[in-house]
Structure 1
């Protein structure tokens, strides 16, 4: 082979090597881009959902574990009743008796068949509202608390904004029957449910599977409409509410708890009831398989630059099960929870501990007059001491002289006696 052929062969081999390297680099890049990175386990992707909007949060911490179009306005249908129930519990006297109006009795849709003039306690109305989704119970509650549905709409919207803290919800009624201006978001519904679940009475009614109902015209057993609570139990389910109107599609609110994880799942605008339940189950599975909630005990102390901090209550934070968490104290009085990738999971507030004051005895500043008096006293003391010593010395000398004189007198007397 001549030099020219060898040169061409080398060039060709070099081109092939470069092409192979370039192909390898492109392959790595494509593989990297196509890998799913989620808040949870890196190898497990969140489920594909059929609902128009959905969210799953951890109830104690409010941590969003997965969301899809969660801030898009949707029609909630009967999920509205979650807000009505907690509002009635907090603003009304649950033992107070409500007289059912004709308007309430004639309300369409799902019902507990209240009769005009029937007298029912607010607590019983809340039970009929949540367990059997009674629209008539919703109207009776609104009229009793606010006087009219219009006033109730104003009152509950103010409550949701100022007390619960949601910003993208506007309710026109207490039951969720369709109104084009009656809207919420998956995020807001999760926050409303989270707030409501802090109330013990709400939790009890929200998780009730069946209830004996003794009404004026209807004696029956009420069963929850939520299938995961009743027909198809799911481990950890402790509450739920269903909803449906044609314009909203199927809506579902679900709460569940296992060991160290407490979840709220909201799905909105599903075309089929089965889709709403499947999406809910998939989101629950995803969250339970990938996350956990840890805590820092009350009274735990931290030190930063000689400043001591402590936790005034038990603090919770939610993170991936694979996370290796380290803590870092910040100057603003928070403790950051940081994972192995140096991602801040959350920042939790701490209470600053006041430093104990160190009392130091410093010499008192002496005035010129005090200094003069001290010096005078010292001079007097010195003079007095000198005079005292001098006096004692004189007394001693006198004593010695007198002793010697007496000695000589006595001695002389003895000599005279012997001669």
Structure 2
């Protein structure tokens, strides 16, 4: 009996470290998170969405936006002087000291890998002088550079404020944009970070349990966790196999385990059902009497069960999933200008020759009239001469 109980206990312990996955029923995944989105990391195609445009709180997923903005605007080798305001931040920290000097890159590493709220504020103050100005500039950057429209951040770390919000779709777009930067991608995928600060020397492990391997999932390449009591559990994760790269974001999960199980379900669905195709440069798509074409070879995402390509009136090609009719991707095409009608234009020599011919015709006509008149005179004189003799 004891042996049987021991086996059960071991089984339960092992199963607690296995991600739970379920197949989609009627195209719907059994997700516990209130908001979720699955994107193709390369094409941006939307493969799955749940309340994707509903405003929710991101918690520390905010730091993804802070990181890519700081990487693109700042000098990674510049030294940041830590303020008292940064040191006073609540929640997870990297235990900075007031007046401590740390490189911008190290602060970004501490912010993403250990979710340091103090590091995030130190970054904001270094980049734009204050948290307030940083937030204004960050929001403008997210809108103009990345193209999000339902996000408003008022701090760099995601500590709760009712006016600090985003959506699953916006966070997916932000993550997709950020991972194309090699510096960000390297830090986002860091599992172990040796930290050497003024008062804290340690080895930091990523908080992301799938990336760390605690909840193993093949192909995970990066991730960021988040939690506040108001936002609940949030997670952004990237993964890849030999055919496709995926980005998954889940928001507002009640239990920590739920966000990992939901992310695994999203990845299972994406890897099983989608693949890449290519629109060949110059390939013609017709609508009525108009023709459109891709200017370059263009990567697209298609369902493994088949996709339909539909051209709309604006010259945008819609890639539709044959299974459910959902639009996966929008591809703007170039309009092919119709060939101009051929108009025959005489050369200069031809024009001169024509004018010369016209002149000769005119002269010949005069000569003809004169000859006819002379002939008439001769005939008249001859008749008169005959009568006389």
Short-chain TM bin? 0.7 to 0.9
Unaligned runs of 5+ in 1: 1-40, 380-419
Residues 36 and 251 in structure 2, CA contact (< 8 A), matched pair in contact too:
yes
1:273 Cα deviation after fit: 0.7
1:61 Cα deviation after fit: 2.7
Aligned residues between the structures: 340
Residue 172 of structure 1 is matched in structure 2 by 154
Residue 356 of structure 2 is matched in structure 1 by 370
Residue 116 of structure 1 is matched in structure 2 by 98
Residues 282 and 296 in structure 2, CA contact (< 8 A), matched pair in contact too:
no
Residue 49 of structure 2 is matched in structure 1 by 67
Identify the match of residue 351 of structure 1 among 331, 334, 337: 334
Residues 24 and 269 in structure 2, CA contact (< 8 A), matched pair in contact too:
no
Residues 39 and 47 in structure 2, CA contact (< 8 A), matched pair in contact too:
yes
Determine which structure has greater relative contact order: mean sequence separation of CA pairs < 8 Å that are 6+ residues apart, divided by chain length. Answer: 2
Residues 260 and 294 in structure 1, CA contact (< 8 A), matched pair in contact too:
no
Residue 184 of structure 2 is matched in structure 1 by 202
- Within 2, Cα distance between the matches of 1:201 and 1:375? 83
The Cα offsets for residues 74-117 of structure 1, whole Å up to 9 and x where unpaired, read as 22110110010011011111111111111112222111111111
The Cα offsets for residues 3-49 of structure 1, whole Å up to 9 and x where unpaired, read as xxxxxxxxxxxxxxxxxxxxxxxxxxxxxxxxxxxxxx997643212
* Partner-residue secondary structure (3-state), 2:102: strand
The Cα offsets for residues 275-294 of structure 1, whole Å up to 9 and x where unpaired, read as 11111111211222222232
Residue 235 of structure 2 is matched in structure 1 by 252
- Within 1, Cα distance between the matches of 2:152 and 2:296? 34
- Within 2, Cα distance between the matches of 1:42 and 1:280? 13
| CA distance 1:342–1:376, shift in 2 (3 Å) | farther
Residues 71 and 187 in structure 1, CA contact (< 8 A), matched pair in contact too:
yes
- Within 2, Cα distance between the matches of 1:286 and 1:342? 14
Residues 46 and 283 in structure 1, CA contact (< 8 A), matched pair in contact too:
no
- Within 2, Cα distance between the matches of 1:342 and 1:72? 22
Unaligned runs of 5+ in 2: 1-22, 366-389
| CA distance 1:42–1:125, shift in 2 (3 Å) | closer
1:160 Cα deviation after fit: 1.6
1:347 Cα deviation after fit: 4.7
Please provide the CA RMSD for this pair: 3.2
Q: How does 1:289-304 map to 2 (within 5 A)?
A: 289-297=272-280, 299-302=281-284
Residues 195 and 203 in structure 2, CA contact (< 8 A), matched pair in contact too:
yes
Residue 235 of structure 1 is matched in structure 2 by 218
- Within 2, Cα distance between the matches of 1:293 and 1:199? 22
Identify the match of residue 202 of structure 2 among 196, 215, 220: 220
| CA distance 1:144–1:341, shift in 2 (3 Å) | closer
Identify the match of residue 129 of structure 2 among 147, 151, 170: 147
- Within 2, Cα distance between the matches of 1:119 and 1:221? 19
The Cα offsets for residues 332-374 of structure 1, whole Å up to 9 and x where unpaired, read as 5454546668958455233346677798764445699634544
* Partner-residue secondary structure (3-state), 2:207: coil
Residue 314 of structure 1 is matched in structure 2 by 297
Residue 377 of structure 2 is matched in structure 1 by none
Identify the match of residue 188 of structure 1 among 167, 170, 186: 170
The answer to whether residue 81 in structure 2 is matched with residue 94 in structure 1 is: no
Residues 111 and 137 in structure 1, CA contact (< 8 A), matched pair in contact too:
yes
Identify the range of structure 1 (125-134 vs 177-186) with the bigger mean alpha-carbon deviation: 177-186
The answer to whether residue 59 in structure 2 is matched with residue 77 in structure 1 is: yes
- Within 2, Cα distance between the matches of 1:341 and 1:235? 26
- Within 2, Cα distance between the matches of 1:260 and 1:132? 31
Residues 208 and 223 in structure 2, CA contact (< 8 A), matched pair in contact too:
yes
The answer to whether residue 254 in structure 2 is matched with residue 268 in structure 1 is: no
Residues 207 and 238 in structure 1, CA contact (< 8 A), matched pair in contact too:
yes
